[in-house]
């Protein structure tokens, strides 16, 4: 992994590169920020660069050919230790095993890089055990703690690490990344980007999730004929999502995108900006006034807030769709 392969995190990478340039690499870094924005990739790029035997010092590119780079690329570098949670937590035994490996001399006499993913999942004992090592840093060892929930880490750990924050990615950046990774899914990329809210991993999960793709199709078929549907039909359609908060949330987001697209067609005629490119014809045939569309979008917004405050998912969906149907037939 190279720094140049990571998109949208120039600030975080710049801080690390300055530290490399000035030979001021901290003993412990804490990479914080949302899921799926490049924290782990940055950690891997740093590890590879630090142990590359002929890096380009001007551009911070590791050579990719030396034995160390080859081991880094294949994920088998003996001086790169990666710790992932075991189930829902990182346990003290895991930290002990890890630290026993850290205390061994590095194989190549260069950097030992210790990557702890989802560091907020350390148990209290695990965190205390790690803390002792962080308090007595060894030369040429770098701890890279990664977390998306910095608020759940003990202050003692925070105080021992230099924190580097990673930000959400812009929609255009996510679109670029997805287009490179999944050119064959072109028609869905706009939609997935809109739902992903700045996280590449969320976008990839959505692309891989057939259940959401099916539910979307089914839901949009309902929205297309919503004005002609009876309240009983709407209620019966919602039954299948009883207690399924995750899916109801996705449906409410999809509904917002649907009516937002309808509003775009209705007001600006900006077809190239539509999220649901694959539903262009049915969207165009939705004859709804902008005033009603704004009202409907408000209903979905309210539904989303109610869902967040733990209202029954099915009830929220029913009420949102029934209110929408009333607005459509008003």
Q: Using CB under 5 A as the criterion, which residues of the chain lie in contact with Zn ion when the complex forms? A: 52, 62-63, 66, 69
CA distance 54 to 180: 29
Q: Cite the beta strand spans of the chain per DSSP E.
A: 28-32, 80-83, 112-116, 141-147, 162-165
**C-beta closer to Zn ion: residue 52 or 321:** 52
**C-beta closer to Zn ion: residue 63 or 222:** 63
Smallest separation, CB 106 to Zn ion (Å): 16
Any residues with CB less than 8 A from the CB of 65 and at least 6 apart, and which? none
Smallest separation, CB 45 to Zn ion (Å): 12
Smallest separation, CB 204 to Zn ion (Å): 28
Smallest separation, CB 67 to Zn ion (Å): 8
Smallest separation, CB 117 to Zn ion (Å): 24
**C-beta closer to Zn ion: residue 55 or 303:** 55
**C-beta closer to Zn ion: residue 51 or 325:** 51
**C-beta closer to Zn ion: residue 49 or 143:** 49
What angle is formed at CA 109 by the lines to CA 105 and CA 112, rounded to 5 degrees? 65
């Amino acid at each position: 992994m190279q720094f140049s392969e990571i998109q949208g995190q120039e600030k975080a990478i710049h801080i690390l590169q300055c530290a490399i340039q000035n030979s001021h690499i901290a003993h412990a870094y804490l990479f914080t920020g949302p899921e799926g924005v490049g924290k782990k990739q940055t950690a891997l790029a740093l590890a590879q660069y630090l142990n590359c035997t002929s890096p380009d010092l001007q551009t911070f590119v590791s050579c990719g050919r030396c034995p160390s780079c080859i081991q880094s690329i294949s994920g088998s570098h003996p001086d790169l230790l990666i710790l992932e949670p075991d189930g829902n937590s990182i346990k003290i035994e895991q930290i002990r095993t890890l630290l026993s490996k850290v205390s061994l001399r590095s194989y190549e006499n260069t950097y030992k890089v210790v990557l702890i993913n989802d560091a907020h999942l350390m148990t209290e004992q695990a965190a205390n055990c790690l803390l002792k090592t962080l308090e007595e840093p060894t030369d040429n060892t770098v701890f890279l703690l990664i977390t998306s929930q910095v608020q759940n880490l003990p202050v003692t750990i925070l105080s021992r690490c230099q924190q580097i924050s990673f930000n959400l990615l812009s929609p255009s950046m996510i679109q670029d990344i997805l287009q490179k990774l999944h050119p064959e899914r072109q028609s869905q990329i706009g939609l997935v980007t809109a739902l992903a809210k700045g996280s590449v991993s969320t976008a990839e999960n959505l692309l891989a999730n057939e259940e959401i793709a099916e539910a979307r199709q089914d839901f949009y078929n309902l929205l297309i004929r919503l004005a002609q549907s009876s309240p009983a039909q709407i209620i019966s359609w919602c039954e299948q999502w009883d207690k399924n908060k995750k899916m109801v949330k996705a449906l409410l987001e999809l509904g917002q995108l649907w009516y937002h697209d309808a509003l775009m067609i209705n007001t600006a005629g900006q077809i190239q900006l539509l999220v649901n490119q694959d539903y262009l014809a049915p969207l165009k045939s939705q004859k709804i006034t902008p005033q009603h569309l704004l009202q409907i979008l408000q209903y979905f917004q309210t539904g989303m807030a109610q869902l967040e405050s733990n209202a029954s998912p099915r009830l929220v969906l029913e009420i949102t769709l029934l209110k929408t149907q009333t607005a459509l037939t008003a």
